[in-house]
Structure 1
Amino acid sequence: MTSAGARLWRGFFGGWLNATVTIVTLAVVWLVVAPIVRWALLDAVWVGDAKTCAAAEGACWAFIGEKLRFILFAFYPFGEHWRAALALAALVAVLGLSAVPRLWSVWLAGACAGLLASAWALLGGGLFGPPVPMAQWGGLPLTLLITILAFAGGFPIGLALALGRRSRLPILSWLCTIYIELARGIPLITALYLAMLVLPLALPEGVELETLVRASLAMTLFFAAYFAEIIRAGLQGVPESQTEAALSLGYSPFGAMRHVILPQALRSVVPALVTIAIGILQSTTLVAAIGVFDLLNAARQAANDTAWLGFYDEAYAFAALVYFTLCFGASRYSVWLEKRL
């Protein structure tokens, strides 16, 4: 037995206590996993109609095959799904390009902004086909769009709030502190309802914002407070001697912050920023409460079809698989990025 195998054997069965815990754990896993495997794979229906699924004991993955386009794109016009697919590809490209540290530059920001504008134009129509109201946008493109907008908007606002909270101007510091503590002290669902019910009252007469815009704005301002605290923690982790050294070399206070302090602070909190991005993605499911058809809400609505009524387990399992794939990939990327930096 190799040394690695010996270490594993000692870890699992080295002594009566380890052996007992291992055997009990395996038994519990078998009792829990075996029925799930039987339902999801062995007894599942992969091809057929609703009647075939109703007669079976396993999962009805034929339902996912039939409703896949609706789950991905919700009520977006069926004949224009190619536009939604291209918009989804543009949003995935934004995520992919942003994940490469070698590309982090002003040019990347411009490229990502162009891809976002392209995705928005594709979904909205006009240049690429008949206009599609925002009320019909939905599914996975909408989920990724809200996530990217909330992150891209919340990060610079959070940076400004973090710097403002550390400012020597008492009024500015107090205002930033009050905003951060208020935003972090309320649930996100409350912020979404405020955006839906209170924001229209604050707008000038005749000015209206679509539900999607209000939801994105609410999530941006909400998560900006969390960005602010993460960035502030990074700034506090940079020794004061770094600032003194930069000033002694002739940097202005602004130059020292921009060229010396911020790069070190942001590098140290990049994994936490990725964690916030995962949290934003998971929190997009709450927009269903205000009538936005994100991926999860589209999956639930698909199971309400009278021809395929009641297959909620399969709908939620598929949505969970998509979210798990995105979040697990982001978490592995965070580990890789932390080692690289």
Structure 2
Amino acid sequence: MQAFITRETLPSLPPPSTLKGPIAWMRQNLFSSVGNTIVTVVLVLAILAALIPFINWAFIKADWIGSSRDDCTSGGACWVFVYVHLKLFMVGLYPEAETWRVLLVGMILVVTLAGLMIKGVPFKKYLQLFALIAFPIIAFMLLSGGSFGLPHVETNFWGGLLLTLVIAIVGIVAAFPLGILLALGRRSSMPIVKAICVVFIEVWRGVPLITVLFMSSVMLPLFLPEGMEFDKLLRALVGITLFQSAYLAEVVRSGLQAIPKGQYEAANALGLTFWQGMYKVILPQALKIVIPGIVNSFISLFKDTSLVLIIGLFDLLATIQGAFASPKWLGYAIEGYLFAALVYWVFCFGMSRYSQRVERSLKTTN
């Protein structure tokens, strides 16, 4: 027998598949006992029993391209309904000749967000200033028009996914700083400031969003000077921003309360003013703690945009409901709702995954 001796350390071998990896995870979580094995098998069979017919209806027997319901002849899902109304679902009644403006705004938004999310992109501070200051102005001028030779497009013609994103993005961006100020005001030592913030937060949190939208659409013009009119979309944005800021204020306040008292004392010991201490010491820690709550509020706001239908604004869900209510397309509500669910899920899942990535980068999760 020959022996092989080496003075070099051999590389470590990976653990066996029975101890780490998918097989080990399934043995530990799905087949760890007889009872778990039976439950797993029953659930898998039930899922397959429901999933196989759905896949057959939604994909295998589905009709994908056409111009009318007469092209749906296979007996499966009629995705022709979505194909025919895709432009309506995306931009509503926005003039077809001007849809390039919507595409341009979308491209700028995607490039800006990609630059902010990807690590290693230079000049991120300037990109952040562009996203907060320049982009909203550029987007409004392109979408609304009326300057630089662009035809004016009234907000009544905005709809579909375009309107959903406008309401969600403006609501998120405007409500976040207002929510922080309300949270700081509620914890203020000045009685008047604290009382105003408490009343504001509790009133707006105690009123349903539908009521807020009605109020912003019907009552807000009553408080304006005579002859001054607010656009219907602007009224909805004001109401949603105030409503969402009250919820964000409580989320941020929970983060402020989680900060040890020693951090406040340390900021004072360094000679920092109140606002300097909040900006440099307290808020970075507090916001890091409440990232899940903040993102949860953002996701909730994105889905609540569908309520603007009650004041005559046609977002994504409203345009889909209007399309399958047409006599030409009666009976295709399932395809419409599935398409809406897919779009909402993509955006909400994207926000959730990005928040988890931020948490991992800030090491707020195990």
Cα distance in 1 for residues equivalent to 2:79 and 2:321: 15
- Counterpart check, 1:298 vs 2:313: no
TM-score w.r.t. length of structure 1: 0.93
- Counterpart check, 1:72 vs 2:90: yes
**2:71 maps to what in 1?**
52
- Structure having the higher helix fraction is 1
How many angstroms does 1:177 deviate by? Answer: 0.8
Q: Judge conservation of contact 2:116–2:127 (CA < 8 Å) in 1.
A: no
Aligned length: 340
**1:20 maps to what in 2?**
38
Q: What's the CA shift string for 1:28-70, capped at 9, x where partnerless?
A: 21222222212111221113331131x4321111221221111
* More deviation, 232-241/99-108: 99-108
Cα distance in 2 for residues equivalent to 1:333 and 1:321: 18
Segments of 5+ residues of structure 1 without an aligned counterpart are none
- Equivalent of 1:2, from 4, 7, 17? 17
- Equivalent of 1:138, from 159, 172, 177? 159
Q: Amino acid of the residue matched to residue 50 of structure 1? A: R
**2:179 maps to what in 1?**
158
Pairs within 5 Å for 1:23-38: 23-38=41-56
Q: Structure 1 residues 240, 13: CA separation in 2 closer, same or farther (over 3 Å shift)? A: closer
* More deviation, 164-173/302-311: 302-311
Cα distance in 1 for residues equivalent to 2:145 and 2:172: 25
**1:224 maps to what in 2?**
245
Q: Amino acid of the residue matched to residue 137 of structure 2? A: A
**2:150 maps to what in 1?**
129
Q: What's the CA shift string for 1:266-294, capped at 9, x where partnerless?
A: 22223322222111111111111211111
- Equivalent of 1:319, from 320, 323, 340? 340
- What's the secondary structure of 1:198's corresponding residue? helix
How many angstroms does 1:105 deviate by? Answer: 4.1
- What's the secondary structure of 1:80's corresponding residue? helix
Pairs within 5 Å for 1:236-275: 236-275=257-296
- Equivalent of 2:211, from 182, 190, 196? 190
**1:108 maps to what in 2?**
128
Percent identical pairs in the alignment equals: 41
Cα distance in 1 for residues equivalent to 2:253 and 2:156: 38
Cα distance in 2 for residues equivalent to 1:336 and 1:322: 21
Q: Structure 1 residues 151, 124: CA separation in 2 closer, same or farther (over 3 Å shift)? A: same
Q: Amino acid of the residue matched to residue 346 of structure 2? A: T
Cα distance in 1 for residues equivalent to 2:149 and 2:345: 32
Q: Amino acid of the residue matched to residue 322 of structure 1? A: V
Q: Structure 1 residues 92, 193: CA separation in 2 closer, same or farther (over 3 Å shift)? A: farther
TM-score w.r.t. length of structure 2: 0.87
- Equivalent of 2:301, from 280, 287, 295? 280
For the pair shown, the structure with the greater C-alpha radius of gyration is 2
Q: Structure 1 residues 125, 193: CA separation in 2 closer, same or farther (over 3 Å shift)? A: same
How many angstroms does 1:336 deviate by? Answer: 0.9
Q: Judge conservation of contact 1:278–1:327 (CA < 8 Å) in 2.
A: yes
Q: Structure 1 residues 254, 6: CA separation in 2 closer, same or farther (over 3 Å shift)? A: closer
Q: Judge conservation of contact 1:143–1:295 (CA < 8 Å) in 2.
A: yes
Q: Judge conservation of contact 1:124–1:134 (CA < 8 Å) in 2.
A: yes
Q: Amino acid of the residue matched to residue 106 of structure 2? A: L
Cα distance in 1 for residues equivalent to 2:358 and 2:331: 42
RMSD over equivalenced CA pairs, Å: 2.1
Q: Amino acid of the residue matched to residue 336 of structure 2? A: A
- What's the secondary structure of 1:324's corresponding residue? helix
Segments of 5+ residues of structure 2 without an aligned counterpart are 1-15
Cα distance in 1 for residues equivalent to 2:76 and 2:249: 48
How many angstroms does 1:224 deviate by? Answer: 0.3
Cα distance in 2 for residues equivalent to 1:12 and 1:195: 52
Q: Structure 1 residues 232, 86: CA separation in 2 closer, same or farther (over 3 Å shift)? A: same
Q: Judge conservation of contact 2:186–2:194 (CA < 8 Å) in 1.
A: yes
How many angstroms does 1:112 deviate by? Answer: 3.4
* More deviation, 4-13/143-152: 4-13
Q: Amino acid of the residue matched to residue 136 of structure 2? A: L
- Equivalent of 1:118, from 114, 138, 151? 138
Q: Judge conservation of contact 1:45–1:62 (CA < 8 Å) in 2.
A: yes
Cα distance in 2 for residues equivalent to 1:120 and 1:91: 13
Q: Judge conservation of contact 1:164–1:176 (CA < 8 Å) in 2.
A: yes
Q: What's the CA shift string for 1:116-157, capped at 9, x where partnerless?
A: 222211111223521111100112222111111111111111
- Equivalent of 2:188, from 167, 174, 181? 167
Q: Judge conservation of contact 2:112–2:127 (CA < 8 Å) in 1.
A: no
Q: Structure 1 residues 318, 7: CA separation in 2 closer, same or farther (over 3 Å shift)? A: closer
How many angstroms does 1:307 deviate by? Answer: 3.6
- What's the secondary structure of 2:85's corresponding residue? helix
How many angstroms does 1:310 deviate by? Answer: 3.5
Cα distance in 1 for residues equivalent to 2:110 and 2:204: 29
**1:213 maps to what in 2?**
234
Q: Judge conservation of contact 2:93–2:158 (CA < 8 Å) in 1.
A: yes
